[in-house]
Amino acid sequence: MTKSFILALDQGTTSSRAIVFDRQGQARGVGQREFRQYYPQPGWVEHDAGEIWQSQLDVAREALRNAGASAADVAAIGITNQRETTLIWDRASGRPLARALVWQDRRTAPLCDKLREQGHDRLLQARTGLVLDAYFSGTKLAWLLDNVPGARQAAQRGELAFGTVDTWLVWQLTGGQVHSTDPSNASRTLLYDIHTQDWNDEILALLDIPRSVLPSVAPSSAEVGRALPEWFGGPIPIAGIAGDQQAATFGQACFKPGMAKNTYGTGCFMLMNVGDAPVASRNNLLSTIGWGLPGQGAGPAGRPTYMLEGGVFMAGAAVQWLRDGLGIIQRSDQVEALAASVPDTDDVFLVPAFAGLGAPDWDPYARGTLVGLTRGTTRAHVARATLEAIALQSAELLTCMNADSGIGLSELRVDGGAARNDLLMQMQTDLLGVPVVRPRVSESTARGAAGLAGLAVGFWSGMEEFAGQWEAERRFEPRWNADQRAARLARWRQAVEHAKGWARPA
Ligand-binding annotation for 442, yes or no, is no
Contact 352, 367 (CB under 8 A): no
Cβ-based neighbour number of residue 212 at 10 Å: 14
Nearest to 434 by CA among 465, 497, 391: 391
Question: What crossing angle do the helices spanning 444-456 and 244-251 adopt, rounded to 10°?
Answer: 80
Ligand-binding annotation for 266, yes or no, is yes
Secondary structure E strands in 235-316: 236-243, 260-264, 268-275, 286-293, 303-312
Ligand-binding annotation for 264, yes or no, is no
Contact 412, 260 (CB under 8 A): yes
Ligand-binding annotation for 2, yes or no, is no
The number of helix segments (H) and strand segments (E) in the chain equals 17, 23
Ligand-binding annotation for 369, yes or no, is no
Sign of torsion, CA 265 266 268 272?
Answer: negative
Ligand-binding annotation for 83, yes or no, is yes
Ligand-binding annotation for 135, yes or no, is yes
Ligand-binding annotation for 311, yes or no, is no
Nearest to 145 by CA among 131, 134, 160, 128: 160
Ligand-binding annotation for 244, yes or no, is yes
Nearest to 259 by CA among 506, 444, 495: 444
Ligand-binding annotation for 417, yes or no, is yes
Separation between Cα atoms, residue 54 and residue 276, nearest integer Å: 38
Task: Give, for 183, the enclosing helix (H) or strand (E).
Answer: helix 183-186
Nearest to 175 by CA among 91, 60, 99: 91
The beta-carbon contacts of 421-425 under 8 Å, at least 24 apart in sequence, are 421/264, 421/335, 421/336, 421/387, 422/336, 422/476, 423/336, 423/339, 423/340, 423/387, 424/264, 424/336, 424/387, 424/390, 424/391, 425/474, 425/476
Cβ-based neighbour number of residue 32 at 10 Å: 15
Ligand-binding annotation for 174, yes or no, is no
Coil, helix or strand at residue 298? coil
277 alpha carbon, distance to own chain's centre: 21
Ligand-binding annotation for 82, yes or no, is no
Ligand-binding annotation for 320, yes or no, is yes
Strand 412-415 relative to strand 260-264, pairing: parallel
Ligand-binding annotation for 13, yes or no, is yes
Which residues are annotated as part of the binding site for ATP?
A: 13-15, 266, 316, 320, 417
Which residues are annotated as part of the binding site for sn-glycerol 3-phosphate?
A: 13, 83-84, 135, 244
Which residues are annotated as part of the binding site for ADP?
A: 13, 17, 266, 316, 417, 421
Which residues are annotated as part of the binding site for glycerol?
A: 83-84, 135, 244-245
Which residues are annotated as part of the binding site?
A: 13-15, 17, 83-84, 135, 244-245, 266, 316, 320, 417, 421
